[in-house]
Amino acid sequence: MNNEIKKGLIGVISDETKISEVMPDINSLTYRGYTVQELCEKCNFEEVAYLILNDDLPNKNQLSEFKKNERNNREISDNLKSIIKNYPKKAHPMDTTRTSISHMGLEDPDASNNSKEANMRKSLRLLAKVSTAVAANFRVRKGQDIIEPNNDLDFCENFFHMCFGKVPSKEVVKAFDASMTLYAEHSFNASTFTSRVITSSLSDMHGAVTGAVASLKGPLHGGANEAVAHMLNEVGSSDKAEEFILNKIKNKELIMGFGHRVYRNGDSRVPTMTEYFHKTAKYYKNSELPKISKILEDTMLREKNIKPNLDFPAGPTYLLMGFDIDFFTPIFIVSRITGWCAHIMEQFESNKLIRPLSKYTGTSHRKISK
């Protein structure tokens, strides 16, 4: 038996998946074999969600049916709306989103049914309802009325409608749509692995997703996009950017938005998201955020040879769109719910309880002396 300890399970292959892969030969993240760059260019998020959940891109009829089902499941219950209205105003939106999803499990008619058909129904309901719950929380915390979903709008358009009461330009919606595609899935990351561990005990989908949300909250995982936005606000202006990052490096402080355990030649999602970040900044006539970001990126590469990850361009993009910083990671959930649900269903298909061993390093055997 190999007793080597791999802290953080670095390099450990714990299972196999057909959902996504970072292909080293092309240094690209792929969903079911398609590169995320091509998916962003040629598909919208609804098509990508179908792909992740169903193993292939939809034809016209399949997409139409998928959209119809998603739109028909967008509404959340009056009971959940009441709960959202009573969340503490200072509660982090990740905590409230986690609670909302847990409550959805109490109401879902298939909650305890783990058949493939029931889990697919739950996946679609979660995809449809989570965005509504996040948007409702977004408005309630501002003292505004909840806006009901509009079934005449596409998924991303509807999210803006529920948050702001209006849909922005096509350029802004496309940038948001691309971010949804890029955040949708990423193999055995911390939150996805958490969902699979929970599923392996034959728990239910809502429980597994709730656990995934708790894992995603951490700043070393999904919370990094929030940290990036706070950092950009702290920098303030491009003439202070280089000194700011050099001081961070000198003081050996953790700098969020840089580096990734999986990518060795840079996060393959970054160029695409950066392109949409710059387009969004141009639309809002903001040249300062791209300048600050570029200086931070160049300085980190020069001083530490570390490249940015997806959170680095996604954070300022959401900032420009008008979302509150602490809602960035719940927006991540609105997208990643697809990947989590796909992995939960895959785990059920070929399940084995995930139960690793540990090496005991505590006090040696002793006896009570009395």
Query: Which domain CATH number covers 240?
Result: 1.10.230.10
Tell me how far apart the alpha carbons of residues 51 and 297 are, in angstroms, rounded to a whole number.
Answer: 33
Question: 363 lies in a domain?
Answer: no
| Pair 199, 125 in one domain | yes
Average pLDDT, the chain: 93
The pLDDT of residue 254 is 83
Tell me how far apart the alpha carbons of residues 47 and 56 are, in angstroms, rounded to a whole number.
Answer: 9
Tell me how far apart the alpha carbons of residues 51 and 251 are, in angstroms, rounded to a whole number.
Answer: 45
| Pair 267, 177 in one domain | no
Question: 369 lies in a domain?
Answer: no
Question: 67 lies in a domain?
Answer: yes
pLDDT digit string (tens) for 277-293? 999 999 999 999 999 99
Which residue bears the tokens 């393959």? 268
Question: 370 lies in a domain?
Answer: no
The pLDDT of residue 2 is 62
Q: State yes or no: pLDDT of 263 exceeds 70.
A: no
Q: State yes or no: pLDDT of 226 exceeds 60.
A: yes
| Pair 52, 165 in one domain | yes
| Pair 165, 258 in one domain | no
Buried b (16+ CB within 10 A) or exposed e, 358-367: eeeeeeeeee
The catalytically annotated residue of 92, 154, 221, 326 is: 221
**3-state SS, residue 152:** coil
Question: 232 lies in a domain?
Answer: yes
| Pair 82, 204 in one domain | yes
| Pair 167, 290 in one domain | no
Instruction: Choose the weakest-confidence range: 33-37, 101-105, 352-356.
Output: 352-356
Is residue 230 among the annotated active site residues? no
As given in the structure block, the two tokens for residue 73 are: 């499941």
Confidence of residue 1 (pLDDT cuts 50, 70, 90): low
State which amino acid sits at residue 272: T
Cα–Cα distance list, 117 to 124, 130, 272, 339, 350 (Å): 11, 20, 35, 17, 16
| Pair 62, 119 in one domain | yes
pLDDT digit string (tens) for 190-214? 999 999 999 999 999 999 999 999 9
| Pair 240, 140 in one domain | no
Question: 141 lies in a domain?
Answer: yes
Question: 25 lies in a domain?
Answer: yes
Alpha carbon dihedral 189, 190, 192, 196, in 10-degree steps, equals 120
The catalytically annotated residue of 108, 177, 204, 311 is: 311
pTM as predicted: 0.93
Q: State yes or no: pLDDT of 28 exceeds 80.
A: yes
pLDDT digit string (tens) for 104-116? 999 999 999 999 9
Which residue bears the tokens 């070929």? 350
The pLDDT of residue 124 is 98
pLDDT digit string (tens) for 315-347? 999 999 999 999 999 999 999 999 999 999 999
CATH number of the structural domain spanning residue 129: 1.10.580.10
The pLDDT of residue 265 is 67
Eight-state DSSP code of residue 151: T
Counted domains in the chain:
2
Tell me how far apart the alpha carbons of residues 139 and 322 are, in angstroms, rounded to a whole number.
Answer: 12
* Residue 221 burial (C-beta neighbours within 10 Å; 0-12, 13-18, 19+): middle
Mean pLDDT of all residues in 301-309: 91
Question: 6 lies in a domain?
Answer: no
Range of the domain at 233: 224-320
| Pair 119, 210 in one domain | yes
| Pair 90, 169 in one domain | yes
The catalytically annotated residue of 186, 260, 278, 343 is: 260
Tell me how far apart the alpha carbons of residues 17 and 346 are, in angstroms, rounded to a whole number.
Answer: 8
